[in-house]
């Protein structure tokens, strides 16, 4: 089993719908991150969390919200999806700010 | 601000060719530098890293040297294989930024037999 698991792996949704992407980890890390990947732009940080009570906005948080339900779970929500949120989304974890980040396999989201 | 710039892809090479993927950075402070690799359909995996100037990171035949004077961290491999076909991301992390990674745009490498 993967250390960082994202569900679903692929999703197509309609404009205006609410959608949640889920991430769970078995590494016991406190720090979790959500990134989105767009062609030619690399990965950009959406939100990050240092523990269940500490959630912070990244560089592109508009249109997104997150929930840290437990140390192992960090969900990303799109309250009202729009086509320019079509992207590949990655969850990542790290033990500390100076240690390796581990990534999930990604969720490919298409908003039509 | 802090940023990472990589050479544009895609890069197409023949098997056993020499590989260089350029990466330069701009950072306030002293970043750690990373190369991540993304194989088709998979997430990112750490390939190598360097945490201070003149450090050389290496793994699986890939190398990169942290050059503070040129703010660069170019990825090299002497002889690529078809299995090296992937997207390569250069990234930096600042110690006072909570572990956040700042990525370059990625460079797609295709190795032909």
Nearest-Cα residue of chain B relative to residue A106: B43
Q: How many residue pairs from chains A and B have C-beta atoms closer than 8 A?
A: 61
Number of H helices, E strands in chain A: 0, 11
pLDDT of residue A75: 98
Contact B107, B7 (CB under 8 A): yes
B107 beta partners: B88
Q: Which residues of A touch B57 (CB under 8 A)?
A: none
Q: What is the mean pLDDT of residues A28-45?
A: 92
Per the CB < 8 Å rule, is B43 touching A106? yes
pLDDT of residue A1: 60
Is the pLDDT at A27 greater than 80, yes or no?
Answer: yes
Contact A72, A5 (CB under 8 A): no
The answer, for A61 touching chain B at a CB cutoff of 8 Å, is: no
The answer, for A103 touching chain B at a CB cutoff of 8 Å, is: yes
CA A105 to chain centre: 11
Q: Choose the closest CB to B98 out of A4, A48, A103.
A: A48
Q: Choose the closest CB to A105 out of B4, B32, B43.
A: B43
Nearest-Cα residue of chain A relative to residue B92: A98
Per the CB < 8 Å rule, is B98 touching A103? no
Closest CA–CA distance from residue B62 to any residue of chain A (Å): 18
Closest CA–CA distance from residue A23 to any residue of chain B (Å): 13
pLDDT of residue B62: 98
Per the CB < 8 Å rule, is A4 touching B43? yes
Q: Summarize pLDDT for A44-102 with one digit per residue, the tens.
A: 999 999 999 999 999 999 999 999 999 999 999 999 999 999 999 999 999 887 788 99
Contact B107, B23 (CB under 8 A): no
Q: Choose the closest CB to A45 out of B32, B100, B106.
A: B100
Each residue's pLDDT expressed in tens, for chain B with a length of 113 residues: 889 999 888 999 999 999 999 999 999 888 999 999 999 888 899 999 999 999 999 999 999 999 999 999 999 999 999 999 999 999 999 877 777 899 999 999 999 99
User: Measured between alpha carbons, how far is A43 from A58 in angstroms, rounded to an integer?
Assistant: 12
Q: Which residues of B touch A56 (CB under 8 A)?
A: 98
Q: What is the mean pLDDT of residues A27-53?
A: 93
């Amino acid at each position: 089993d993967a250390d960082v698991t994202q569900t679903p792996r692929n999703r197509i949704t309609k404009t205006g719908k609410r959608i949640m992407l889920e991430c769970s980890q078995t590494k016991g890390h406190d720090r979790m991150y959500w990134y989105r990947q767009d062609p030619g732009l690399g990965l950009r940080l959406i939100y990050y969390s240092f523990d269940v009570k500490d959630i912070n906005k990244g560089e592109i948080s508009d249109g997104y919200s997150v929930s840290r339900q437990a140390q192992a779970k960090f969900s990303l929500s799109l309250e009202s999806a729009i086509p320019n949120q079509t992207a590949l989304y990655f969850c990542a974890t790290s033990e500390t700010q100076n240690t390796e980040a581990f990534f999930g396999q990604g969720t490919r989201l298409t908003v039509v | 601000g802090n940023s990472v710039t990589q050479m544009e892809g895609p890069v197409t090479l023949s098997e056993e060719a020499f590989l260089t993927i350029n990466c330069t950075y701009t950072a306030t402070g002293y970043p750690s530098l990373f190369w991540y690799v993304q194989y088709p359909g998979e997430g990112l995996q750490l390939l190598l890293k360097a945490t201070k100037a003149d450090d050389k990171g290496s793994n699986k035949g890939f190398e990169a040297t942290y050059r503070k004077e040129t703010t660069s961290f170019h990825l090299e491999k002497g002889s690529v294989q078809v299995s090296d076909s992937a997207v390569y991301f250069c990234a930096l992390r600042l110690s006072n930024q909570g572990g956040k990674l700042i990525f370059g745009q990625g460079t797609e490498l295709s190795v032909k037999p």
